[in-house]
Amino acid sequence: MSITVILDMTIKPELLDEFLQRFDENLPDSRAFEGCEYVDVYTADDNEARVVCIEGWTSLERFQAYGAWRAEQGDVEAFQKYYDGVPNLVRLDARDVTRG
């Protein structure tokens, strides 16, 4: 069953440009990872340091494999320096709801 992942991050303002460049460099590998359906990146209108990623994955298992791969690559640790606070990660399971 497919899932949607929302990653809501606040980036230290003085590191925002560096973060966005590095994040952008990582996007092709994220989007090419098996099971990734899409990754869209947004910034908040009222706070450009707030970056939100909305991702679609074919399954929780594929998303978890991706997370493990990113950790093995050292990306999880490397990105810690950019965060102002703790990023919020929300996983949403797709539901097949029929209304009669």
**pLDDT tens digits, one per residue of 53-94:** 999 999 999 999 999 999 999 999 999 999 999 999 999 987
Q: Where are the alpha helices (DSSP H) in 1-100?
A: 16-32, 60-73, 75-79
Q: What is the pLDDT of residues 69-78, one digit of tens each?
A: 999 999 999 9
pLDDT given for residue 41 in this prediction? 96
- Return the pLDDT at 97: 63
Architecture of the CATH domain 3-93: 2-Layer Sandwich (3.30)
Neighbours of 57 (CB within 10 A): 23
Looking at the chain, the whole-number percentage of residues with pLDDT higher than 90 is 90
Strand partners, 93: 3
CA end-to-end span of the chain: 23
The pTM score is: 0.88
Where do the domains of the chain lie? 3-93
